[in-house]
């Protein structure tokens, strides 16, 4: 067993070796530009991109022509929200989103507010779920876009996507979902789920970093948006720039592996997650954050009575790679905005740890982590008793 044990799969995943193998030729022999239509180097690259586009479309139940490649979910989110806002500016400027969204969504909305957008940030219930009635009453005549993530990166909480999409469709409002965490863990189906736009990323599904996709519905309804990157007109003009062919090939391979193996993989990951979670919650002084059923099978988010500020817990984090708060904002010591939106006080939010598991975790690793958490909590408790004794005398 290698230390530290990696339990931060929601931050990023390693490339599956089969993904890496598929990518390698496109860095060297097959180096062509997919936009070079005049020779075989270009044709080979274009063919590889075509296959990858089909693999990703198939995983989402989309048409390949509805997939736009980007540099990652952050770019896809920017393109979707800014692109729809810009194109629809004449029709309305109201956007609805949720307080627990990823920073990429919240900060993009914040940017648009400076440009005249009006944004409603819906609250969530203590379990992290939105109340569809609250969404319904937030809809206005000038609402152009509803932005609600499929599953939360910190807690794994899965929003009622089909209820949301039905509401949006009835009112003629586009529905955009950030499915970066849901993809590869639970079935995501743009047709059955009624999704108009969807963002996802390769490096969360055992693909490479720096490549993502935006699904843009072409029929019933046809979604239109303004490009945010101008240039050579690649990706049907929605996203100019030479395609990252090796990255796209890796993304495609990762998607097809997901499609074939996800069910099996997730079964064993969720068994490990359940074992870890049950053991930690049994230790006392701990609390599970987020709805315990409507959530991804790969993650457990737990608040400790005494938190990460504690030296003993810091020691634990040296042998277990996890996140306290969101990985994306953990450079700043701010308590998680997601947990605070769920009603946790600063202390409980600050003292939360996210264990996110993946397909390379083993039973042995889970047992090791349980053991270490148990020891740490015992040490912290006896430390507390010492402090209390000291105060008494």
Ligand X SMILES: *Cc1c(COP(=O)(O)O)cnc(C)c1O
Q: Are 342 and 128 in contact (CB under 8 A)?
A: yes
Question: Closest CB to ligand X among 79 and 370?
Answer: 79
Which one of 118-126, 177-185, 334-342, 384-392 is the stretch in contact with ligand X (CB under 6 A)?
Answer: 177-185
Question: Closest CB to ligand X among 104 and 272?
Answer: 104
Which one of 49-57, 173-181, 234-242, 358-366 is the stretch in contact with ligand X (CB under 6 A)?
Answer: 173-181
Q: Are 197 and 216 in contact (CB under 8 A)?
A: yes
Which one of 16-24, 178-186, 190-198, 384-392 is the stretch in contact with ligand X (CB under 6 A)?
Answer: 178-186
Interface with ligand X, residue 184, by CB under 6 A: no
Nearest to 247 by CA among 278, 284, 205, 209: 209
**Burial, 218: exposed, middle or buried (Cβ in 10 Å; 0-12, 13-18, 19+)?**
middle
As measured in angstroms, the least distance from the Cβ of 311 to ligand X is 30
Interface with ligand X, residue 266, by CB under 6 A: no
292, HSE (Cβ side, Cα atoms, 13 Å):
7
Question: Closest CB to ligand X among 44 and 102?
Answer: 102
As measured in angstroms, the least distance from the Cβ of 247 to ligand X is 11
Interface with ligand X, residue 102, by CB under 6 A: yes
Q: Are 373 and 285 in contact (CB under 8 A)?
A: no
Locate tokens 């990985």: which residue?
Answer: 327
Q: Which of 204, 217, 239, 337 binds ligand X (CB under 6 A)?
A: 204
Interface with ligand X, residue 376, by CB under 6 A: no
Question: Which residues make beta-bridge pairs with 214?
Answer: 68, 199
Interface with ligand X, residue 201, by CB under 6 A: yes
Q: Which two tokens stand for residue 213?
A: 């996709």
Question: Closest CB to ligand X among 9 and 304?
Answer: 9
Interface with ligand X, residue 295, by CB under 6 A: no
Q: How many CB atoms lie within 10 A of CB 144?
A: 20
Interface with ligand X, residue 181, by CB under 6 A: yes
Angle at 79 between CA 76 and CA 83, to 5 degrees: 150
Interface with ligand X, residue 94, by CB under 6 A: no
**Residue closest to ligand X, measured at CB:** 72
* Cα 208 from Cα 15, distance rounded (Å): 6
DSSP secondary structure of 87-125: HHTTT--EEEEETTS-HHHHHHHHHHHHTT-EEEEE---
Number of chain residues interacting with ligand X (CB under 6 A): 13
Q: Which of 8, 16, 66, 178 binds ligand X (CB under 6 A)?
A: 178
As measured in angstroms, the least distance from the Cβ of 71 to ligand X is 8
As measured in angstroms, the least distance from the Cβ of 243 to ligand X is 16
As measured in angstroms, the least distance from the Cβ of 35 to ligand X is 23
Burial readout 153-190 (b: 16 or more C-beta within 10 A, e: otherwise)? bbbbbbbbbeebbebbeeeebbbbbbbbbbbbbbebeb
Interface with ligand X, residue 74, by CB under 6 A: yes
Question: Closest CB to ligand X among 76 and 376?
Answer: 76
Interface with ligand X, residue 79, by CB under 6 A: no
3-state secondary structure string, 204-251? HCCCCCCCEEEEECCCCCCCCCCCCCCCCCCHHHCCCCCCCHHHHHHH
From 15, 109, 200, 328, the catalytic residue: 328
Question: Is 328 an annotated catalytic residue?
Answer: yes
Q: Which of 78, 180, 256, 376 binds ligand X (CB under 6 A)?
A: 180
As measured in angstroms, the least distance from the Cβ of 351 to ligand X is 22
DSSP secondary structure of 172-190: T-EEEEE-TTTTTTS---H
Which one of 55-63, 70-78, 137-145, 337-345 is the stretch in contact with ligand X (CB under 6 A)?
Answer: 70-78
> Which residues have C-beta within 8 Å of that of residue 386, sequence separation ≥ 6?
none
Q: Which two tokens stand for residue 58?
A: 């198939």
- Residues identified as active-site: 328
Binding site for ligand X (CB under 6 A): 72-74, 102, 104, 149, 153, 178, 180-181, 201, 204, 212
């Amino acid at each position: 067993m290698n230390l530290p044990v990696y339990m931060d799969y929601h931050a990023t995943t390693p490339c599956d070796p089969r993904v890496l193998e598929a990518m390698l030729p496109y860095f060297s022999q097959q180096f062509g530009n997919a936009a070079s239509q005049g020779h075989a180097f270009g044709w080979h690259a274009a063919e590889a991109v075509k296959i990858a586009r089909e693999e990703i479309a198939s995983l989402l139940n989309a048409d390949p022509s509805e997939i736009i490649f980007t540099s990652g979910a952050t770019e896809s989110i920017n393109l979707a929200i800014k692109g729809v806002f810009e194109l629809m500016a004449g029709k309305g400027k109201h956007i609805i989103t949720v307080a627990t969204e990823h920073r990429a969504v919240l900060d993009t909305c914040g940017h648009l507010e400076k440009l005249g957008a009006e944004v409603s940030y819906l609250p969530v219930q203590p379990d992290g779920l939105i109340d569809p009635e609250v969404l319904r009453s937030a809809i206005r005549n000038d609402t152009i876009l509803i932005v609600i993530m499929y599953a939360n990166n910190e807690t794994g909480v899965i929003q009622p996507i089909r209820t949301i999409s039905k509401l949006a469709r009835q009112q003629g409002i586009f529905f955009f979902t950030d499915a970066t965490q849901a993809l590869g863990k639970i079935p995501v189906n743009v047709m059955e789920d009624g999704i108009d736009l969807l963002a996802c990323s390769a490096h969360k599904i055992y693909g490479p970093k720096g490549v993502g996709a935006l699904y843009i519905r072409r029929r019933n309804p046809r979604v239109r948006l303004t490009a945010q990157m101008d240039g050579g007109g690649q990706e049907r003009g929605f996203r100019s720039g030479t395609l990252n062919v090796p990255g796209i090939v890796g993304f495609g391979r990762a998607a097809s592996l997901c499609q074939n193996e996800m069910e099996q993989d997730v079964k064993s990951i969720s068994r490990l997650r359940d074992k870890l979670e049950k053991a930690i919650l049994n230790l006392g002084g701990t609390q599970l954050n987020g709805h315990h059923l409507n959530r991804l099978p790969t993650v457990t988010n737990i608040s400790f009575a005494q938190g990460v500020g504690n030296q003993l817990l810091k020691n634990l984090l040296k042998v277990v790679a996890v996140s306290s708060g969101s990985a994306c904002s953990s450079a700043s010591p701010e308590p998680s905005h997601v947990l605070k939106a769920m009603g946790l006080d600063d202390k409980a939010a600050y003292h939360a740890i996210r264990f996110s598991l993946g397909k390379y975790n083993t039973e042995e690793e889970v047992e090791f982590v349980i053991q270490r958490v148990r020891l740490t909590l015992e040490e912290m408790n006896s430390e507390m008793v010492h402090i209390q004794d000291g105060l008494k005398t």
